Structure 1
Amino acid sequence: MSKGYLLAAAQYPVGELADWDAFEDKLSSWCREAAARQAKLLVFPEYASMELASLLGPALRADLHGQIAAMQDLLPRWRALHARLARELGAYILAGSFPVREDGGYRNRAWLFGPEGSADFQDKQMMTRFEREQWGIGAGKGLKLFDTALGRIGICTCYDIEFPLIARTLVEAGAELLLAPSCTDTLAGYHRVRIGAQARALENQCYVVQAPLVGEAPWSPAVDVNIGAAGIYTPVDRGHPDDGVLASGRLDEPGWVYARIDTASLDAVRRSGQVFNHRDWPLQPPADTLVSRISMP
């Protein structure tokens, strides 16, 4: 019987970097710490890459749009570093998402790097008001299912996990684990993502992992305040925690949150659980069902 594998979700602190070597040392140290614990999947937060903007001059640091344009020159080196660490450590790494220029605009892109040298990305689908109205970052096109040696993985970046149909589409395609890297600047924002993550785990009877950016970066107009705690969430049924929380971190405290997950357990709960949320999804009234309005004066 499968015993699963150890997963690590980062409460990653945004920092002000002296130079590229400082970033490389920081990321390498974080990854090696998790790998030393035998973690096979390392999940970094949404927009963790934005600390690279601290390497730019003062004028670009303060320029909300200019900084992501300038960061494009760092992208090849950033990707190469993550790819090397995944190979060296024999682990999958979901890198902190990076705003990537494409088709005349920008996408919030999360890359998954594999230990055998593979890499691909998922673009965020649902944009927050800040991304859409102030930052000019647009929605990506399409969803991807990552078929890995650890199982089938989907990525729902931050706001995406608050929308049931995105997660459901991935689960119906075969996803057993949903990764929800996040970046929220209020306690309410953190809880919105957490509540969404737990709801998706409940209704799809799957695992969901939240990994937040934490700390303050007063020099950055994009990630100046970051609040959250990492969590690994499960179905709320037999064989899993009664509250659906397999592991959770302390709010805003940098560090890894670890949990051992076993996707084989999902088959059991979907087959013989107390309830069948996953199976019963199609029994819901369709969206176009006529709603009768009842007057009760």
Structure 2
Amino acid sequence: MIRLAACQYAIELLETWDAYAEHLQALCAEAVHGGAQLLLLPEYAGLVLSGQLPAAQRGDLHGSISGIQPLIPRWLALCEGIAREHGVYLQPGSLPVLDSDGRYRNRAWLFGPQGMLGHQDKLMMTRFEKEQWDISAGSGLKVFDTALGRLGILICYDNEFPLLARRLAEQGADLILAPSCTDTEAGYHRVRIGAQARALENQIAVLQSPTVGLAPWSPALDVNIGRAGLFVPPDYGFPANGIMAEGVDLSASGSHWLVCALDIDALLSVRERGQVHIRKDWPGQFSQSQYSDPVTHDEL
């Protein structure tokens, strides 16, 4: 049995580094004191760093992401220090990172008790990211081996694409971390429904952490709606609706942790002795060697 924590993370204006560092340290300590071994924050949680920029720059869509780039090394060191201090795994959400090719990518790092384990970039970009923000897609999917099990990261919109989660499942992931950021209730439910579907299809668990609250000072994070959740296959030993745990109601204000337990052995048991064998019965025509080829109209 492992203990997970997903944050319904309120976007707050923190105008100095010390205020931000104190905020993040206290927030993570709260989850650790609740018994959490793995902490998940939402997509673009790191963009709260833009609160430290001059008001005009943090209020500019493109200026805000260029302005935080010098702060990222310090942010990474802070996150690594928190994970080491508490002996936990920390996925502190994501932020836009300027790569060597001059493109920004939405990147989520994972830290463990021994330090940084690596990162996962978002692969499927929303219209806002592509058309207004000029954030580019990353490439590749990673599975992280941890003392808690094998896990992957699918950032927000990525959870709405079945073959991404399937690839992680094929690589042995038992848990997918789903940091999300949505500004409408419909957007939140799209990610949540995707997360639940991925848990069902692959007989794995998916942990979702959303942004919440209003941040009129940020053009990227101005409106945030979501609810944390842990989703599992609806089968023996798990809830009939596949919802293992949920955070506080959508109308709640402030940051709140959902701390919950997950039995990895029960997941493995469902795959072998469940009412259905969805993971095993995945259609052969969708194997990686075949679904990578485009389908022509003549084949439909």
Conserved? CA contact 1:83–1:119, under 8 Å: no
The alignment's TM-score, normalised by the length of structure 2, stands at 0.93
| Cα shift at 1:61 | 1.2
Q: Deviations over 1:189-231 (max 9, x none)?
A: 0000000000000000000011001111001110000000000
- Could you say what secondary structure the match of 1:212 adopts? strand
Q: In structure 1, which of residues 125, 128, 131 is the aligned counterpart of residue 129 of structure 2?
A: 131
116-125 vs 106-115, which moves further:
116-125
The alignment's TM-score, normalised by the length of structure 1, stands at 0.94
- Determine if the alignment matches structure 1 residue 32 to structure 2 residue 29: yes
- Residues 1:114 and 1:124: Cα distance change in structure 2 (over 3 Å): same
Question: Which residue matches 2:278?
Answer: 277
Conserved? CA contact 1:214–1:252, under 8 Å: no
Question: Which residue matches 1:209?
Answer: 207
Matched residue type, 1:275: V
**1:103-122 alignment runs, 5 A limit:** 103-122=101-120
Equivalenced residue count is: 290
**Percent of aligned pairs sharing the same letter:** 57
- Segments of 5+ residues of structure 2 without an aligned counterpart are none
- Residues 1:111 and 1:243: Cα distance change in structure 2 (over 3 Å): same
Q: In structure 2, which of residues 38, 43, 49 is the aligned counterpart of residue 41 of structure 1?
A: 38
Looking at structure 2, the residues matched to 142 and 158 of structure 1 have their Cα atoms a distance apart, in angstroms, of: 16
114-123 vs 191-200, which moves further:
114-123
**1:170-189 alignment runs, 5 A limit:** 170-189=168-187
Conserved? CA contact 2:34–2:259, under 8 Å: no
| Cα shift at 1:252 | 4.7
- Segments of 5+ residues of structure 1 without an aligned counterpart are none
Looking at structure 1, the residues matched to 270 and 297 of structure 2 have their Cα atoms a distance apart, in angstroms, of: 33
Give the RMSD, CA atoms, in angstroms: 1.6
Question: Which residue matches 2:250?
Answer: 251
Conserved? CA contact 2:214–2:222, under 8 Å: yes
Q: Deviations over 1:111-136 (max 9, x none)?
A: 10111123310000000000011001
| Cα shift at 1:258 | 1.4
Matched residue type, 2:250: L
Looking at structure 2, the residues matched to 218 and 128 of structure 1 have their Cα atoms a distance apart, in angstroms, of: 21
**1:14-29 alignment runs, 5 A limit:** 14-29=11-26
Conserved? CA contact 2:45–2:211, under 8 Å: yes
| Cα shift at 1:51 | 1.4
Looking at structure 2, the residues matched to 132 and 264 of structure 1 have their Cα atoms a distance apart, in angstroms, of: 40
